[in-house]
Amino acid sequence: MLAPDLAGFGASTHPATPPRHIRGWMRLWTDQCLALLDALGLARAHLVGTSLGGCIALHLLAEAPERFGRVALLAPAGAPLRITPELDRLWGFYEDPTPAVMARLVRRIVPAPAVLGEDVDSIARLRTEAALRPEVRRSDEAMFGGDRQAVADAPVVPEAALVRMPHEVLVVHGREDRILPYPCGLWLAERPPLARLFLLPRCGHRPHVEHWAAVQRLLSQHLAGDVRELPAPPTDRRSPV
């Protein structure tokens, strides 16, 4: 399993002169992932992406479909989206970069923060310290600064590319996701011919954290090709699927 540290995040590399728009970053991340496969001599790999990583995964499929097998997308970006208040607050963190604001963001990302297993305020302090490192702030503001609706629109994967994707795609989305609401996952799952949507109740924007055991089982079975073994999506009268 490979878990690349993408440029521009956390303790990874931060360009001294970063791309000035999310489109430039998407180009950088796509090139970085393909170069990693080349450096390791891997002709083909399965692909898992969460949130923005899901959008990067879709761009990789569109650019180099022959390099990837099965695909799993967790709470993915990449669908048309009118920016939500929660996403607007997340991208606007540096307007008031305090631990209190970070704690509110964590609670919006994960509606039941007890699943984090730690005190939210402690998590918020650590994340704020990391976010205030000059290189991290420089990268973040280069990615998400300016017109936030334009930032949300820019990396949307063309529908014409999605409907041509031959890959088996599993989309896992939380029904209570307030960052990227579940219709985003539904829209993406309706395009590739072999896509499947699994909607998790009582789940926000971190399904792999909030429902770790269920998501681990889904990923293991999907990536192994055991489609017949995948459980049916949870039933709920409020569920659209």
> Which are the catalytic amino acids?
51, 177, 205
Dihedral of alpha carbons 133, 135, 139, 144, sign = positive
User: d(Cα 34, Cα 42) in Å, to the nearest integer?
Assistant: 10
Distances (CA, A) of 14 to 7, 151, 201: 6, 20, 37
202 φ/ψ angles, rounded to the nearest 5 degrees: 55, 45
The per-residue DSSP string of 89-150 comes to: HHHTGGGS--HHHHHHHHHHHSSSGGGG-S-HHHHHHHHHHHHTSHHHHHHHHHHH-S-HHH
What 8-state DSSP symbol labels residue 118?
S
Rounded CA gap, 176 and 86, in Å?
A: 12
Distance from C-alpha of 115 to C-alpha of 11, rounded to nearest angstrom: 25
Give CA–CA dist 205/75, Å, rounded.
6
